Amino acid sequence: MFQYYQQEASKLRAQISNLQNQNRNMLGESLGALTLRDLKNLESRVERGISRIRSKKNELLFAEIEYMQKRIAETERAQQHMNLMPGSSEFELVQQPQHFDARNYLQVNGLQPNDDYPRPDQPPLQLV
């Protein structure tokens, strides 16, 4: 039974070593021991991997672009909706020049004191 576990441990160590070598090869390291055929196989594996990576990247980029285009369209629709709503032009009304209408103002004579001021301990402000 003990011998079986030793053999299994040895097999697992060999597999780990093999996988580490493959990883180094994929990174372009430790290539000196590879034959021309091994290098060609490695090259084709790397190219297939790069192709899959680029496909996935493009898929994610296109999905992000589509999402952003939808958000832009929604924002534009919301902006148009806000522009059509009554009272939505308050900002524009504030920026328009206000016309003077004498009926909207109190006639104050700044030269005469105001006797109707409710607090006699504080003098009223008077325009001069």
Q: Give the largest Cα separation in the chain, rounded.
A: 118
Per-residue pLDDT tens over the stretch 102-112:
555 555 555 55
The CB-side HSE value for 85 (13 A sphere, CA atoms) comes to: 10
* The predicted structure's pLDDT at residue 94: 46
For the cut 70, the answer to whether the pLDDT of residue 127 exceeds it is no
Concatenating the DSSP letter of every residue in 41-69 gives: HHHHHHHHHHHHHHHHHHHHHHHHHHHHH
For the cut 50, the answer to whether the pLDDT of residue 93 exceeds it is no
Going by pLDDT thresholds of 50, 70 and 90, the confidence category of residue 84 is confident
Q: What is the mean pLDDT of residues 45-53?
A: 96
> Which of 49-58, 64-73, 74-83 is predicted least confidently?
74-83
* The predicted structure's pLDDT at residue 102: 53
Question: Whole-angstrom Cα distance, residue 5 to residue 83?
Answer: 77
* The predicted structure's pLDDT at residue 119: 58
**pTM, to two decimals:** 0.52
